[in-house]
Amino acid sequence: MSEQAKPLVGVVMGSSSDWDVMQHAVAVLKQFGVPYEAQVVSAHRMPDEMFAYAESARERGLRAIIAGAGGAAHLPGMIAAKTIVPVLGVPVPSRYLRGEDSLLSIVQMPKGVPVSTFAIGEAGAANAALTAVAMLASTDEAMAARLLEFRGQQTAAAKAMTLPA
């Protein structure tokens, strides 16, 4: 599975400068064999394309959209406003406020149009993708098995940890 197969998860970001963080979402999707697509969709620089992306998401078969943005991060909320496909928001660290602005912009959605919001940066991007995997796993037993195996590997690694004497 790859970017070539019919995508089930869309990964969008406000700028190519977000890729350093958002590549961690794509890496997880690849690891689990989730068909995905990834592209730049800027809320304030290409709003018409953003709406078209969101409006077509459901009919194109997307089951989740991972949206990352930094600063006054409108992208996840505005995409959520135009589709009922679940939106997983990733706050990208910003230059001056280190992503606290991104986090608050994404997480503080008014009641009625949710954006599931993750941690700032790499962990948030990876966990958004793991959540998309878990959503797919609810109807895909092979995906569920891969997710359980992944969790088991983490448990084994933690149990094998040692501390300096």
Given 29, 38, 67, 71, the residue binding ligand RP5 (CB under 6 A): 71
Neighbours of 62 (CB within 10 A): 22
Site for ligand RP5 in 39-58 (CB under 6 A): 42
Cite the annotated binding site by residue number: 15, 18, 45
77 part of the interface to ligand RP5, by CB under 6 A: no
Q: Single out the segment in contact with ligand RP5 by CB under 6 A; choices: 14-22, 81-89, 116-124, 131-139.
A: 14-22
Q: Which is nearer to ligand RP5, 47 or 61 (CB)?
A: 47
Cβ neighbours around 23 below 10 Å, total = 16
Residue with tokens 């958002």: 22
From 12-20, 47-55, 132-140, 147-155, give the range in contact with ligand RP5 by CB under 6 A.
Answer: 12-20
Bridge partners of 117, per DSSP, are 89
CA distances in angstroms from 32 to 12, 124, 131, 148, 150, listed in the order given: 19, 17, 12, 11, 9
Block residue for tokens 């070539």: 4
Using the rule CB under 6 A, give the single segment among 66-74, 106-114, 116-124, 137-145 that binds ligand RP5: 66-74
Contact status, residue 75 vs residue 69, Cβ threshold 8 Å? yes
Bridge partners for 128 per DSSP: none
Q: Does the protein bind ligand RP5 through residue 14 (CB under 6 A)?
A: yes
164 touches 53 (CB < 8 A): no
# residues contacting ligand RP5 (CB under 6 A) = 10
- Per-residue contact track with ligand RP5, 91 to 120, x per CB under 6 A? -x----------------------------
Length of the chain equals 165
Which positions lie near ligand RP5, rule CB under 6 A? 13-15, 17-18, 42, 69-71, 92
